[in-house]
Amino acid sequence: MSNPAASFEPYRRRLLGLAYRMLGSMADAEDAVQEAYLRWHAADRDRVSDQRAFLMITTTRICLDMLTSARARHEEYVGPWLPEPVFDTAALAPDSCTELAEDLSIALLLTLDRLSPLERAAFLLHDVFDFSFTEVATTLERSEAACRKLATRARAHVRDLRPRGATAPPARSGGIDAKHAQLMSAFAAATQSGDLNALTQLLASDVRVVTDGGGKVRAALNVIEGADRVARFVVEATRKRPDTWWREDFTLRFATINGLPGLVVDAPEGPVQTAAFEIEGDVIRAVYVVRNPDKLRHLAVLKATGPEASAD
């Protein structure tokens, strides 16, 4: 019988990418992939004619089971929920050339989170991972017609809910665009100096800030919307509780976060905050701030891919 580890390894990246898109959590995705490996180890592998299909189907079904408990955790979550940030989106890309193959933007993941588990699975398998509807039907144990309807409904939601005109995912070569770096540096400088007027000028009138602390650390319990409200919130948070948002041993750097330009606040023990920016033209349309330490733990052992620079 074939070596289970050797035959599984070529598919690990694809499976992790699928599980992360399904669950919005790297920790949960890694658990799902590990469970898929255990099932692969226990399977009669010599009788599996299509390893890729077997492992994708197995991982999808594991994720569908996990989503039941994940949704329960969402309902009990303190404040806004955001997916766990990832730096290296190329490492989670499927081996396909679909329109959404490299899109791991937070906006897309939030949209996927609004779909039913079956809609999410049908959409991801067909539109992102290039499964035929015959394969989707086998995976979900539904008819092809039902799976087509699931994918169509999901596609409509994705089309309606994804922001238009915001920063597109970068090419695999990565790196932060110079204009984006300049805009984020100006944002950081205006925040730290408390310059409300300068900060407001950098923001779209309908800008949104979403902060995820998960009840573990201080964060806004609601989405903040509108340039004036966002500017006041950011400045007041920095001024009133500088010990909460900034310490002397913190450093700031640029990184690509879920395909978006972003800033990472590092402590000696690892990242304590990520901020991913949706930028349109010369203004910021949205900022997604993750402060929940449980969602940053996996980043402590990683380095951001692509060129990095200080944001001072």
Q: CA–CA separation, 273 vs 143, rounded Å?
A: 44
Q: Which residue's entry shows tokens 């189907």?
A: 57
- Token pair in block for residue 73: 């955790």
User: 229: helix, coil or strand?
Assistant: helix
**In sequence order, what E strands does the chain have?**
203-212, 224-225, 251-257, 260-267, 270-280, 283-290
Average pLDDT in the chain: 87
Domains of the chain listed by start with CATH number: 4-161 (1.20.140.160), 178-301 (3.10.450.50)
Percent of the chain exceeding pLDDT 70 equals 87
Which pLDDT value is given to residue 112? 92
Arithmetic mean of pLDDT, 180-209: 94
Q: What is the pLDDT of residues 273-283, one digit of tens each?
A: 999 999 999 99
pLDDT tier, 306 (very low <50, low <70, confident <90, very high otherwise): very low
In angstroms, the CA 290 to CA 217 distance is 10
Closest CA to 117 of 75, 82, 71: 71
Residue 254 has pLDDT above 60, yes or no: yes
pLDDT for 58 beyond 80: yes
233 within 8 A of 288, measured Cβ to Cβ:
no
Please tell me whether residue 133 adopts helix, strand or coil conformation: helix
Mean pLDDT within 285-311: 74
More confident residue, 192 or 210: 210
Q: For the segment 62-71, what is each residue's pLDDT rounded down to a tens digit?
A: 999 999 877 7
Residue 201 tokens read as: 């000028």
The conformation of residue 288, written as its DSSP 8-state character, comes to E
- What is the tens place of the pLDDT at every residue in 132-185? 999 999 999 999 999 999 999 999 998 887 665 554 444 444 578 899 999 999
At residue 103, the pLDDT reads 82
**What sign does the CA torsion over 114, 17, 27, 7 have?**
positive
pLDDT recorded at residue 164 = 55
Give the mean model confidence (pLDDT) for residues 85-100.
80
Per-residue pLDDT, averaged over 12-26, amounts to 94
Query: In the predicted model, is pLDDT for residue 243 greater than 70?
Result: no
- Rounded Cα–Cα distance for residues 72 and 67 (Å): 8
pLDDT value of residue 240 = 61
